[in-house]
Structure 1
């Protein structure tokens, strides 16, 4: 009876969250009257990705604005076969837990269109506050890769009257204002360029400085982002040195004592290799939020180089100003995760094999992301869970749609790590919407990565997708 009561409480809690989430998706902001989507306190933790299910924002530039909220500006991915779209959305939060999405803050086509000279796709943006206004710098996908600027009185936008910036051609603008009030713009691919901005922030002044970073010397590919800390200028960018010239999966950084260089290569802050089988790039920024610094980056989904999700991790500066490399995690900036709370499978921070994250969009409820295209021998990682004092003794998971017979090996830390349980999967036909599976697990204590290893027992399914995983959790029924 106690077990049934506990299960009912958990079910009621989950349904309550679902209802709250549906209500949040129809909320309206007082400032703009626009609809926003809100990611509620999923598992009561700060988890990666930070963008809600079904929302795909990449190339994140994060800043804490004068109102104290954190705003993340980035490209908006829509289809799986092309990068970006005609629209920018803005992520924002006051607590790093609840994230709002302000849609159509700026566009070159359709709703929110504020550019009268083009309808090209929008690549990565940046935004900064200056003298009561917010300046959004954008770049286009035309042959010249023109850049422009639009202005708003609100960090959410709408950003209006987008105008081209003469003399600026190249992707991924980064805007920076130094302590003396002088503003700078940085941009480029393979060759990082920089210039001073005019006092009105709408044009460049003086010469364009070439080769601040280069492909050869700094492994610079793209994704300029400049910040300053303790008198040191940090140039964060996407680098190609680890995984071949066609994959700029690392976020590197270089430092200087002047905003226009010379810059010295320092190392890697984060590497998103392994987050999806068709990964091509990374792009992000560092930001100080209430005294703590973080790295913002993206991970792809849908076995595509696009459909990317924003993530964040805390970073640490050494006394000499260098930054320790950090790993991708599920826990993000919130600390180890409570294993007794439901974990969305799509929050896996590493995937091995054919598995990828996809989304389904039910007609009358919120989008649901899950692990799909799972094949025999694939692995998925979630970092990290704190099992201390939890006395877990069972594991429960939900598979969705058709699946073949197989098993899920529940392991600690690595694919051949300690096996704490094996979940048996019975074959399900396509007429069954979902199935919930439960198995006993051995006692666990301490902080561990969780690795699920998927095994297919049907020889006829070799080399084929055999299951989808929506969520899982641990239980302690006999506690």
Structure 2
């Protein structure tokens, strides 16, 4: 997470060391696996494997990561990465929320090529298998709050009485940070300002919200101090005053980014600790307001970003830690990316210490290719971006160039397999094609679909292609984009296979 204007981490890293990267003046470009471990460690700028690795800010990470690890291990290059889980933009400060049998991942958004915490909006992604993530686009921006001027920093969403409340910190016009509340009738928005003013305004950042079993809701926040309030049932006001948490039991570890939740009868508070660079720690309590007992480290300092931010959930019999690092090309302390790890609690409720990995969480269910799948549902990609769609709303994939690709993991074609595939595209010019391959970017071609001009860059048509190869069982599916020119071959909205 980023720090408030009084943050020890920000002030120390940027002003005392003279380095925005917290720990030296060398900018970290991306991260690799330590040989044989799957654990991320820094790769410094200037590595021969980073040259030419980017189109814009984020591309070819998976290929270059695989090439780097292959070189270190004396093996052929391989495609290895599923972390970070978002590659079409820099995402940060994960706030996962389980609702309607789906993981909804709210994130911040770092602007590319930034040397500060330049953040203008909040984004949303979702998954039902923990590896393929659908992009829902922008949920709110600083402009949502007329009283705010900048800094769309870390927030969290919760549902109550059929409405969704999004607690976010922003800089107030002519003043310090305050926490605003967005509200929507749908988890996917649109969100609007629920109050017209800050809910709290004590230089506040990093809100985390929880509704207890008795219906009482709590909002915690803070850096370097930790505060909480008791929210009223309307979720946009509170009773009593602002309470300051006694941090003496945290043994000096608390820095920022609190994450409050309850599991069984125990209350957990995960947080970023130790300036600088930050690690992740946690404390537990018998009640939602304490007394808190320090329990240990969740994730050591690593991953090319001097901040971190935990988000912990249980989903379909698994437990997951979301966090951020600087692992994509161009990544670092101000251009971060969200990743995820699966873990198991100890018999005493303890959280194990985890390392950042490139593998990420395992897939928990196959993806159905016979239902319409949005093109922005991605396990990994290179060179692409997304934007609001002119094809009936939603989001589509754009900025498609020759050599870019989308990986969709664990597609369940079944025993009988697929006969054809349909793609929804818009193209100002013809000459491009989509190669569908199984297993890897160089795997067996099962279809090659020509994309002709559709009559305009926003004129949409559905094209269908017979399969030339067999697609059965559960396979990773790659959409390889081929064509002349540097960028914007066409736009891509959705795809769907037909059974044999």
TM-score, scaled relative to structure 1? 0.57
Aligned to 1:253: 282
Q: 2:110 aligns with which of 77, 88, 105?
A: 77
| Alpha carbons of structure 1 residues 363 and 45: separation in structure 2 relative to 1, 3 Å | closer
Cα distance in 1 for partners of 2:403, 2:91 equals 15
Contact 2:176 2:201 in 1 (8 A): no
Aligned to 1:152: 184
| Alpha carbons of structure 1 residues 330 and 211: separation in structure 2 relative to 1, 3 Å | same
Confirm whether residue 90 of structure 1 aligns to residue 124 of structure 2: yes
Alignment of 1:1-20 (within 5 A): none
Q: 1:48 aligns with which of 83, 105, 108?
A: 83
| Alpha carbons of structure 1 residues 161 and 363: separation in structure 2 relative to 1, 3 Å | closer
Q: 2:332 aligns with which of 296, 300, 304?
A: 304
The runs of at least 4 consecutive aligned structure 1 residues that moved more than 6 Å come to: 43-46, 358-362, 366-369
Cα distance in 2 for partners of 1:365, 1:397 equals 15
Q: 1:262 aligns with which of 291, 297, 300?
A: 291
Cα distance in 2 for partners of 1:329, 1:304 equals 16
Gaps of 5+ in 2: 1-77, 364-378, 386-397, 406-439, 443-500
Cα distance in 2 for partners of 1:54, 1:263 equals 39
| CA offset digits 1:6-34 (Å, max 9, x no partner) | xxxxxxxxxxxxxxxxxxxxxxxxxxxxx
Alpha-carbon offset, residue 78 of structure 1: 0.8
Q: 1:161 aligns with which of 193, 205, 218?
A: 193
| Alpha carbons of structure 1 residues 73 and 326: separation in structure 2 relative to 1, 3 Å | same
Alpha-carbon offset, residue 73 of structure 1: 1.2
Contact 1:54 1:368 in 2 (8 A): no
Confirm whether residue 282 of structure 1 aligns to residue 308 of structure 2: yes
SS in 1 for 2:251: helix
Cα distance in 2 for partners of 1:119, 1:303 equals 26
SS in 1 for 2:344: coil
Alpha-carbon offset, residue 137 of structure 1: 0.4
Aligned to 1:124: 154
Contact 1:115 1:161 in 2 (8 A): yes
Aligned to 1:351: none
Alpha-carbon offset, residue 323 of structure 1: 1.1
Confirm whether residue 315 of structure 1 aligns to residue 343 of structure 2: yes
Q: 1:192 aligns with which of 226, 244, 263?
A: 226
Cα distance in 2 for partners of 1:132, 1:333 equals 30
Aligned to 1:365: 401
Alpha-carbon offset, residue 120 of structure 1: 1.6
| CA offset digits 1:118-161 (Å, max 9, x no partner) | 23221101001111111000101344210010111111111112
Contact 2:249 2:293 in 1 (8 A): no
Aligned to 2:373: none
Alignment of 1:37-436 (within 5 A): 47-51=82-86, 53-65=87-99, 67-79=100-112, 80-109=114-143, 114-142=144-172, 143-163=175-195, 164-169=197-202, 170-213=204-247, 217-240=251-274, 245-248=275-278, 250-273=279-302, 275-276=303-304, 279-300=305-326, 301=328, 302-334=330-362, 364-365=400-401
SS in 2 for 1:119: strand
Gaps of 5+ in 1: 1-42, 336-346, 349-357, 370-395, 399-479
What is the number of residues matched between the two proteins? 298
| Alpha carbons of structure 1 residues 212 and 197: separation in structure 2 relative to 1, 3 Å | farther
Cα distance in 1 for partners of 2:384, 2:127 equals 25
| Alpha carbons of structure 1 residues 81 and 135: separation in structure 2 relative to 1, 3 Å | same
| Alpha carbons of structure 1 residues 201 and 95: separation in structure 2 relative to 1, 3 Å | same
**Larger relative contact order (C-alpha < 8 A, sep ≥ 6)?**
2
Contact 2:148 2:171 in 1 (8 A): no
TM-score, scaled relative to structure 2? 0.55
Cα distance in 2 for partners of 1:105, 1:215 equals 37
SS in 2 for 1:141: strand
| Alpha carbons of structure 1 residues 60 and 177: separation in structure 2 relative to 1, 3 Å | same
Cα distance in 2 for partners of 1:162, 1:106 equals 12
Alignment of 1:451-470 (within 5 A): none
Contact 1:252 1:270 in 2 (8 A): yes
Contact 2:131 2:361 in 1 (8 A): no
Aligned to 1:449: none
What value does the CA root-mean-square deviation take over the aligned residues?
3.2
Cα distance in 2 for partners of 1:45, 1:287 equals 25
Contact 1:226 1:236 in 2 (8 A): yes
Contact 2:342 2:362 in 1 (8 A): no
